[in-house]
Amino acid sequence: MDTRKSELNPELFDMMKQGKLSAGKILNLIALKELVDRFAVTPFIEKDKLEQIKEKTGVEPDILTWGDYFQTEIASRYFEKSEFEFKKILETIRFDLISAHLIFSGKPEYFQDSIRGQALISKSIDSTFWTLEDEEAIHLETLLEYYTQMGIGEKPLTISDRIWYESFELEKKQFNGIHRPRHNRSGFRKQNPDFKLQQS
Contact criterion met (CB below 8 Å) for 104 and 153: yes
For residues 4-11, give the mean pLDDT.
80
- Is residue 182 classed as helix, strand or coil in its secondary structure? strand
Query: Of 34-43, 60-69, 143-152, 178-187, which range is least confident?
Result: 178-187
pLDDT score, position 182 = 38
Contact criterion met (CB below 8 Å) for 139 and 122: no
For residues 86-102, give the mean pLDDT.
96
Instruction: Check whether 195 has a pLDDT greater than 80.
Output: no
For residues 186-200, give the mean pLDDT.
50
pLDDT score, position 4 = 54
For residues 74-79, give the mean pLDDT.
96
Cα 17 to chain centroid distance, Å, stands at: 26
Count other Cβ atoms within 10 Å, centred on residue 53: 15
Q: How high is the mean pLDDT of the chain?
A: 87
15-24 contacts at long range (C-beta below 8 A, 24 or more positions apart): 15/75, 15/76, 15/79, 20/79, 20/80, 21/75, 21/79, 22/83, 24/83, 24/86, 24/87
Report pTM: 0.82
